[in-house]
Amino acid sequence: MSNIISIVVTIAASLIWGLLLGGISRTVTARIHGRMGPRVTQNFIDVWKLFRKKTSIHHGGMFWMAPMFRITGAICVLLMVPIVIGNSVTWNMSFAGDVFLLIYIMFFGCLGMALGAGNSGHPYAVIAVSRGLAQMSSYELSFSIAVVAIAVGLHTFRIEGIVAAQQAGISSWNIFRFPFASAGALLAFLPMQMAYPFGIVLAPQEIPIGPPTEYSSRFLSLMFSGRALFGVAKLVLFVSLLFGGASSWLSLFVKTFLLYMYPVVVSSVFPRFRTEQSIRFLWFVPTTLALVDLVRVML
């Protein structure tokens, strides 16, 4: 029983934190532009309004399931990753080899989204999906190599073990022990958050908003919530992998906040790559960086 309550609280807190982070990032972007920017709570208002709008357009089964896929993927990641060290639920769910499952599930959420957007039949959505999948295959590679390098170096494929190995002070954090792999993973974090210069999926100048073009009202509301949850899941995963995990809720909030601001700040000062530029960069630079550490660990 207490497990269920704990799960519900975890998900609710992640949702609120994710939406709040989205609102803060909109304000920060606006301030960088020299504007006032919306309220910090703007995302909550948007989600509530969208949820209460009438929904009368849909395009088939996969279209319905896409937001669910994404939310499911996000919740799975949240339950696998040790959010706070000692948190009973997530530490009980952990098992040997769950790092691979996490990488797969993150891909799964995006894949569901791609199938749903493809089912909507809008040409812009289809273009965006093909771009997104091409880009995903390139950044997933560098991210996976970075994770494998870390896991091999620490002799554990269990995320709980990776967190536990970083508890001996700041110098034992993986970002200092595996600097090249961390750099590769952090570069792959930018396209994961669809930040510029890698924002070729949403690309407002060419394919106005890409995959969710046909999504309306409640679907869009769910998609926004899913994106917020997924964002938090990714942040927690990165904090656990590279930044020593979180020993308390406060340190979790501080770490995830700082990590979230990194793509926001980068994205508001960079223009956008073209598709082939983005993919070429992701194939060469982060992958090479991650490989350096993998080779070092192997030797």
Q: Which of 8, 9, 33, 97 binds other proteins (CB under 8 A)?
A: 33
- Could you tell me the smallest distance in angstroms from the CB atom of residue 125 to other proteins? 10
Nearest Cα neighbor of 179 from 283, 290, 298 is: 290
- 216 lies in the binding site for other proteins (CB under 8 A): yes
Find out whether the peptide bond into 179 is cis, omega within 30 degrees of 0: no
Sole binder of other proteins in the list 208, 247, 250, 280 (CB under 8 A): 208
In the list 3, 5, 9, 48, the residue contacting other proteins (rule: CB under 8 A) is: 48
**Looking at beta carbons only, is 160 or 214 nearer to other proteins?**
214
Confirm or reject binding of residue 49 to other proteins (CB under 8 A): yes
Task: Rule CB under 8 A: say whether 46 interacts with other proteins.
Answer: yes
Helix (H/G/I), strand (E/B), else coil: 51: helix
The answer to whether 16 contacts other proteins (rule: CB under 8 A) is: no
The residue written with tokens 């339950």 in the block is: 79
Binding residue count for other proteins, defined by CB under 8 A? 31
Please count the CA atoms within 13 angstroms of the CA of 84 that sit on its side-chain side: 15
- Position among 7, 13, 28, 38 found at the interface with other proteins (CB under 8 A): 38
Contact with other proteins (CB under 8 A): which of 11, 20, 24, 42?
Answer: 42
Q: Tokens 């039949």, residue?
A: 121
**Contacting residue, 173, 196, 215, 243, with other proteins by CB under 8 A:** 215
Helices marked H in 243-270 — which ranges? 249-269
Instruction: List, in order, residues 6 or more apart from 181 with CB less than 8 Å away.
Output: 145, 146, 149, 150, 174, 289, 290, 292, 293, 294
With tokens 């880009």, the residue in question is 135
Residues that bind other proteins (CB under 8 A): 26, 30, 33-39, 42, 45-46, 48-50, 52-57, 204, 208-209, 212-217, 220
